[in-house]
Amino acid sequence: MRVRDLSFLLVTVIGGPALAAAVSTTNLVLITIDTLRADYLSCNGSSKVKTPRLDRLAREGVNFTRARSPVPLTLPAHASILTGNYPPTHGVRDNGTYRLPEQQLSLAEVLEARGYRTAAFIGSFVLDRRYGLAQGFDVYDDRVWSDVDELETLEAERPAGEVLAALRRWFDKLEGERPFFAWIHLYDPHAPYEPPQPYRSRYPRDPYAGEVAYTDAVVGKIVDELQIRGHLSATLLAVVGDHGEGLGEHGELTHAVLIYNSTLHVPMLLRAPELVPAGRVIPDLVRTIDLAPTLLDYLGISPVLGEGVSLRSLIERDMRAKPSGDGMVAYSESLYPQLKLGWSALHGLETRDHRVIVAPRPELYDLRVDPGETDNRLAAEPGVYQRIKRQLVELLQGFEEPSGETAPPLDPDELDMLRSLGYLSGSETATQRAGSSIDPKDRLDLWNRLHLAVAQFAAADYRAAADTLTAVLAEEPGMLIAYDYLGTCYQKLSQLDLAELTYRQALGRGLKSTRLHHQLGRIYLKRGDPAAAESELRIALELDPRRVAAHYDLGQSLRAAGDLPAAAEEYRAALAINADYLWAWSGLGMTLAAMKQEDEALAAFRRVVEIDPSAALGYFNLGVQLERMGIREEAMATYRRFLELSEGQELDAQRQQAEVAIELLGQ
C-alpha cells in the first residue's frame, strides 16, 4: 500500500497531546531471528545453549513463552509479522513464488506515514525486495547478492555480523530528530549450521546451538550499539523468531512441511523500560501476528494493523487475576507439501488446551499433558476433535482472498539463488494436485531424502544429488520437482543429453509444467539449435505468458536464428512485464545495434548500467556502442569503468579490447 493512502492514520493519535509527544520520540527496533526455537533460549529453560543477551532482554522486559508462528516458512512468516495478518489474508503462502501484494498494509508503512525513518537490514535472499516486504521502508538493505556478473559465486545469505555492519553504516548517516524504525533480520540459525568461532568449538556436537549462541552475541551488539549512540532508552525493542526447527522431532530435520510446536513455537521478547513492565513472563497462547498491533499500541498509534490483537492488556493485567486469553486460538498452515511435493496441505488450530491438525490422517493433541505432540487422541476424543475442527473450518471460510498480484516476476537466476541456499524451488504445477490424499507425515523419509538431494545440490555436489534424486524417483515416479532438480543437476554436469531425457520422461508421464518446456528450450539454445529452442519456449509461454525469462530466452533464440525484429519484440515483451530486467535490456541493445538502430541501442545499454551500476559487462557493451557512434570521451570513460569493475574477473578478451580501444580513442 502506498503511503498517501495512509493519511487517515495521521489523525488517529490516541491519548491526547502528551502521548502524541511521546509518539514522536520512541524508536522501534524489530529483530527477527530466523529458525529460532523458543526452547533454545536459556531464559526459557534451555540447558543446550547459553543466550545471555536474549536472557537480559527478557529480564528487562516481557517474555512471551507460548508464542506461535502461523507458518514454518521464512517469507510467509515474516509477511505475517510485518502485516499482523495470517497467510491466507496476506496471500504469501511459500518462499520464492509469492510476493506480498501492494494492497497489504505493513508496520513499516504505518510508521513511515507517522514520520518515522524506516530501514530494513536483511540476512537472506529469501526476503529480497522483489518479494514485497520492502513496502514502507526508506532503506531496504538487501543488496549484497545483487551483482549479476557474479551471481553464480555470490553468497545468497550474509552472516549476522555483516547485517550489523550495515546497520552501523546506516546509524552513521542518521541525522535529525525524527524517530526511526529499524528491522534487522538475522539468518544464522537456518541450516546449514556453520557457526563461526569461538561458537563452533563451544558447541562441537550441536552446531545449531552454536549458531544460536552466535546470533545471541550479535543481538547483544545491536543493543550495545543502541546504547552507545544514545538511542536505547528511547527505543522499543522487539525480538521474535519467524519459525522453529524440527531437529528430528516428528521425523523432520529442518522446517517447512509439518506444523507442530517444534517449528511453530518461537521466542518473542519486548523491551522498553519507560513503556513496558520489566520481568514479565506471559505463559498465555499468543501469536506473532499480535506483535505488530502490540508494538503500535505501545508507540501510541492506534493498532489498526491486521488480524492480530494488541497484547498490551495481557501484559499489564493484574498478575493476581485469572489468566485471560481463554478464547485465544492460533491458526497454522503449511501449503508447502501441496505446492512443492504434490501431497496434502496441512491446516491446524491450537486452542488453550489442544492442537488439531487437519490432514488425510487427522490429529488431536492434548497439550496440557502432551506438549511434545506424540499421542494422537483422535480416536479417544472424537468430539473434541470435531469441535475444534469446526472452529478451524469457520476460520478458514472467514479469510478473504487477498487482492493484488501475489506472484513475483521470475528471473533466470532466482531459482539458482534459492537453490544455492538449500531451498527446494522449482516446478509450479504441483499446485494442480491439490486435494492429494498423501499425508506428508507418512512420506517424511522421502522428504528427508529429497532434502538431502537439495543440500547436496546447494553444496554443488551435483553427482551425489543426481544419485539421490534417481533413487527418489524410483520410489515416487510422479514427483515433478525431482525431475526438475535432476535435469538441472545434469545441466550443471554439462550432460545435456541426460537432462533432455529427464525432462522428456517427466513430460511423458503427463507432468505438465512451464518450467520443463522452458528448460528444454534452454538446452536446445545451448546446443545451438534455435529452431528447437523456439518451439519449446513457445509452449512454455503458452502455459505462462508472464514468464519473463522465457520471453528473454525466446529473444535469444530468435536472435541466434537471425530474426532480429522478432527477437527485439520478445525482449520488449520481457521488459513490459519487468522493466528492470537487465538481461533483456542487454539483449535488446545487442539486437538493435545489429539492426543499426544506434540511438535506441545506446539507450538500452545505458539502462543496463543504470539498473546495476556494478555490472562490468554492461559498461563494456555501452563502451563499444559509444565508440561505434563516435562519442569518444564518454566511450573512453566507460571502458575505464569497465576495466575497474572487471578487475580479477575472467574477461581477458574484453579487457584487452577495452585497453586497445582506449588507446586508439585517445589519439
Least CB distance from residue 268 to Zn ion, whole Å? 15
Indicate the length of the chain as a whole number: 667
Minimal distance, residue 456 CB to Zn ion, in Å: 21
Give SS3 for 591.
Answer: helix
- Which residue number, 100 or 616, has a Cβ lying nearer to Zn ion? 100
Phi, psi (5° rounding) for residue 175?
-130, 165
Size of the site for Zn ion (CB under 5 A): 3
CB of 259 to Zn ion, least distance (A): 14
Q: Which lies closer to Zn ion via its Cβ, residue 242 or residue 570?
A: 242
Q: Which is nearer to Zn ion, 123 or 342 (CB)?
A: 123
- Is the Cβ–Cβ distance between 30 and 238 less than 8 Å? yes
CB of 256 to Zn ion, least distance (A): 9
Min dist CB 112 to Zn ion, Å, is 25
Main-chain phi, psi angles of 503, to 5 degrees: -65, -40
The minimum distance between CB 127 and Zn ion, in angstroms, equals: 9
Q: Is the Cβ of residue 77 or residue 346 nearer to Zn ion in the bound state?
A: 77
The rounded distance, in Å, linking the Cα atoms of 25 and 5 is 24
**C-alpha dihedral (160, 161, 167, 170), degrees to nearest 10:** -140
Radius of gyration of the chain (CA): 26
Kindly tell me which of 312 and 419 has the beta carbon lying closer to Zn ion: 419
- The Cα–Cα gap between 573 and 579 comes to 10
Written in H, E and C, the secondary structure of 457-487 is HHCCCHHHHHHHHHHHHHHCCCCHHHHHHHH
Please say which residue, 78 or 551, places its beta carbon nearer to Zn ion.
Answer: 78
Angle in degrees, CA 127, 130, 134, rounded to 5: 65
Phi, psi of 39 (to 5 degrees): -85, 15
Stated as kind and residue range, the H or E segment containing 368 is none
Q: Does 124 bind Zn ion (CB under 5 A)?
A: no
- Binding part of the chain for Zn ion, among 30-38, 197-205, 423-431, 453-461 by CB under 5 A, reads 30-38
d(CA 400, CA 90): 9
Helix (H) or strand (E) holding 662, with range, is helix 652-666
- Could you tell me which stretch among 27-35, 140-148, 227-235, 532-540 binds Zn ion (CB under 5 A)? 27-35
User: Could you say which of 55, 94, 242, 290 contacts Zn ion (CB under 5 A)?
Assistant: 242
Q: Could you tell me the smallest distance in angstroms from the CB atom of residue 311 to Zn ion?
A: 22
Give every CB contact of residue 21 below 8 A, 6+ residues apart in sequence. none
What's the Cα-to-Cα distance from 647 to each of 443, 515, 547, rounded to whole Å? Answer: 49, 36, 34
Rounded Cα–Cα distance for residues 237 and 239 (Å): 7
Helices (H) and strands (E) counted in the chain, each on its own, are 27, 13
242 vs 500, beta carbon nearer Zn ion? 242
Cα separation of 609 and 430, whole Å?
A: 38
* Candidate residues 63, 74, 254, 332; the one interacting with Zn ion per rule CB under 5 A: 74
**Shortest gap between Cβ of 122 and Zn ion (angstroms)?**
12
As measured in angstroms, the least distance from the Cβ of 32 to Zn ion is: 8
Residue 185 C-beta: closest distance to Zn ion, Å: 9
Show Cβ contacts of residue 438 under 8 Å, excluding neighbours closer than 6 positions: 342, 343, 344, 360
**Shortest approach of Zn ion to residue 330 CB, angstroms?**
18
Q: Judged by CB, which is closer to Zn ion: 252, or 544?
A: 252
Interacting stretch for Zn ion, rule CB under 5 A, among 71-79, 138-146, 207-215, 588-596?
71-79
| Interatomic CA distance for residues 18 and 60, integer angstroms | 25
Q: For 433-447, give the secondary structure using H, E and C.
A: HCCCCCCHHHHHHHH
Nearer CB in complex with Zn ion: 34/544? 34
Which one, 160 or 356, has the nearer CB to Zn ion? 160
Q: In angstroms, what is the minimal distance from the CB of 200 to Zn ion?
A: 22
User: Do residues 273 and 302 lie in contact, with contact meaning Cβ atoms separated by under 8 Å?
Assistant: no
Is 109 a binder of Zn ion (CB under 5 A)? no
379 closest CA partner among 392, 363, 391: 363
Rounded least distance, CB 78 to Zn ion, Å: 8
Taking CB atoms, the residue at the shortest distance from Zn ion is: 74
Does 34 help bind Zn ion (rule: CB under 5 A)? yes
Cell numbers found for residue 96: 520464492
Gap between the Cα atoms of 452 and 647, Å rounded: 37
Nearer to Zn ion, 164 or 421 (CB): 421
Which among 29-37, 42-50, 389-397, 610-618 is the span making contact with Zn ion, rule CB under 5 A?
A: 29-37
Strand duo 330-334 + 286-287: pairing: unpaired
> Shortest distance, CB of residue 517 to Zn ion, whole angstroms?
32
Residue span 183-222 as binding mask against Zn ion, x where in contact by CB under 5 A, dash where not: ----------------------------------------
Q: Which residue has the cell 520488449?
A: 572
Contact 99, 131 (CB under 8 A): yes
From 36-44, 66-74, 92-100, 317-325, give the range in contact with Zn ion by CB under 5 A: 66-74
Binding span for Zn ion by CB under 5 A among 68-76, 203-211, 380-388, 652-660: 68-76
- Residue range at the interface with Zn ion (CB under 5 A); choices 209-217, 235-243, 556-564, 658-666: 235-243
The residue (of 185 and 655) whose beta carbon lies closer to Zn ion is: 185
Specify the residue, 185 or 641, whose C-beta has the smaller distance to Zn ion: 185
Nearer to Zn ion, 111 or 421 (CB): 421
Q: Which residues bind Zn ion (CB under 5 A)?
A: 34, 74, 242
